Structure 1
């Protein structure tokens, strides 16, 4: 069931809310960006994500290519990543927002750990399959 959660960076300069259905699953990836951040995310449509404050404080690390584009957004004050967005052709080409679950302020731990989890082998561009090793993710 979809529920509205509130989130923020560490210094609270960036705040947001997102309508999430944790029963639809969360994800962890082994690509170099996700691995270095120990990222745990959930994807939503842009309509289900609302930036409440801090647009002027958000920095952007973006990449693009023939595969599409992706933007990793983080607070320029404290450095905490809150979300990402983009459009990836292999994922249907629709715009997406990826919410960092660790940035949610009101997510009960029990709800997080019981949510389905999918592992993705982004390191080898094998997004639809889990990597051989997931213990470190």
Structure 2
């Protein structure tokens, strides 16, 4: 069931809210996600609200440049990114580890082989 969750970078300069479910989380082993330790939840971009810190955001793209990985210019934490879902819809990918309203490890993630995708 989708709920509104709050999140932020480490220093608090970037804050956001997203309506998403914590079911269906993924932990990817691609060269980027694995090194960063991301656990991802996905939501329609329209369900994502940047609450503060737009001017503090930087963007990183790699490989096919399909995903805009957003990071805080102050602390370097990457709380979310934006891309296009398999159905062509605009999607927000949220790093569950940056959600401030849930208990650490209160979730379960499926491992996805992004390295060989």
Query: TM-score with structure 2 length normalisation?
Result: 0.91
Residue number in structure 1 paired with 2:102: 107
Paired positions, count: 117
Point out the structure with the larger helix share. 1
Q: 4+ residue runs of structure 1 moved beyond 2 angstroms?
A: 108-111
Distance 1:78 1:110 in 2: 23
> Gapped runs of 5+ residues in structure 1?
126-137
Q: Within the alignment, does 1:15 sit opposite 2:26 as a pair?
A: no
Aligned CA-pair RMSD: 1.7
Residue number in structure 2 paired with 1:128: none
Instruction: Confirm or deny: 8 A CA contact 1:27 1:119 kept in the other structure.
Output: yes
Distance 1:110 1:79, change over 3 A: closer
> Gapped runs of 5+ residues in structure 2?
none
Instruction: Confirm or deny: 8 A CA contact 1:64 1:70 kept in the other structure.
Output: no
Partner SS state of residue 69, structure 1: coil
* Structure whose alpha-carbon radius of gyration is higher: 1
After TM superposition, give the deviation of residue 124 of structure 1 in Å: 1.0
After TM superposition, give the deviation of residue 109 of structure 1 in Å: 3.6
